[in-house]
Amino acid sequence: MHLNDSDCILQISYIGVNEGIPLTRANFTLLAKKRNNQYYFRSPLLQNTSTWQTKKIGNVTLHYKKDYNKKNANKYFNMVNAFDKKLEFTDKPTEFYCCHNYHEVLQLIGVDYKSDYSSIVKNSLSSAENDQNLVVNGYFTPDFTEFDPHDLWHARLHKVISVSIINKPVDEGTAFINGGSWGLSWEEILSRFKKYAAANPNADWLALYNESTNYDKGAKFPLNVDYTINALIVEKLEKEKGMGAVKELLSCGRRVDGNENYFKALEKTTGITKANFNKKVWEMINSK
């Protein structure tokens, strides 16, 4: 490491020990600048992307090397805007770097090697500070084909309601409505749920809810009773009382065995109780 008055480059190695053998855990490259007897350190991201092009899309500045798929990118950013509007959320300006893969993300920000990341092909890193978001995305690729509306809904919702208080089954229910699940649309999920309900006329919805039962056993990915019932509840609640009431239900706290916190908030927001749960769920299913 050598520091002087001008910009300089630092290369830092982090060595770990595994069963007595020293191993390189990570190598980083940082830039340093001395100003008023203080050293300031930063990532080489700006230098590494100085030849990249930019495009302003709303309050996002998209950085890309040569080209990107405009149609898919617009679809993505339009969906972000639609979700934010629904959530009554205004995001900070975002610098969005569009990379081909996670390896490129790491190289650009100055992570030359990190053993924890060695097998990860696609991933995205982000930070939010100084009234600005930074996203270095190695997941979507410049083709923007990899984004999933379900995951995007979760990501936008978690900017509004902290994961420390969000109730996962309600969170999933809202994601079903807004982004489907595992490539299925909400209409397709609903049709599978109705099929299950028709085949189980004596279903005990309260018990199935608390057990978070998967009702689509033959499918590649599970569909859970509690997520789907919440999708029905949230759809009705949003229509009747607006997003404020939906947010109140979402914020009832993490899922606990027996779901006491959830049922308390459910009664307050919708009037549905444990006693009338079965009847109300049937009403919602039959109204579809």
Which of 108, 111, 170, 175 is in the footprint of Zn ion by CB under 5 A?
A: 175
Residue 9 or residue 163: which is nearer to Zn ion going by CB? 163
- Applying CB under 5 A, the span of 8-16, 115-123, 173-181, 182-190 interacting with Zn ion comes to 173-181
Q: How far is the CB of 24 from Zn ion (least distance, A)?
A: 36
Q: How far is the CB of 251 from Zn ion (least distance, A)?
A: 17
Nearest alpha carbon to residue 167 among 269, 72, 26: 269
- Applying CB under 5 A, the span of 174-182, 197-205, 264-272, 280-288 interacting with Zn ion comes to 174-182
- Applying CB under 5 A, the span of 10-18, 71-79, 140-148, 171-179 interacting with Zn ion comes to 171-179
Given a contact cutoff of 8 angstroms between Cβ atoms, the answer to whether 263 and 273 are in contact is: yes
Q: How far is the CB of 84 from Zn ion (least distance, A)?
A: 18
Residues of this chain, 47-106, that bind Zn ion according to CB under 5 A? none
Residue 175 or residue 223: which is nearer to Zn ion going by CB? 175
Q: How far is the CB of 209 from Zn ion (least distance, A)?
A: 17
d(CA 94, CA 128): 9
Q: How far is the CB of 176 from Zn ion (least distance, A)?
A: 8
Distances (CA, A) of 176 to 14, 78, 117: 43, 19, 31
SS3 label, residue 2: coil
The residue type found at 82 is: A
Total of chain residues touching Zn ion, rule CB under 5 A: 2
Residue 172 or residue 226: which is nearer to Zn ion going by CB? 172
3-state helix/strand/coil string of 10-56? EEEEEEEEECCEEEEEEEEEEEEEEECCEEEEECCHHHHCCCCEEEE
Given a contact cutoff of 8 angstroms between Cβ atoms, the answer to whether 112 and 29 are in contact is: yes
Helix (H) or strand (E) holding 236: helix 225-241
Binding site for Zn ion (CB under 5 A): 172, 175
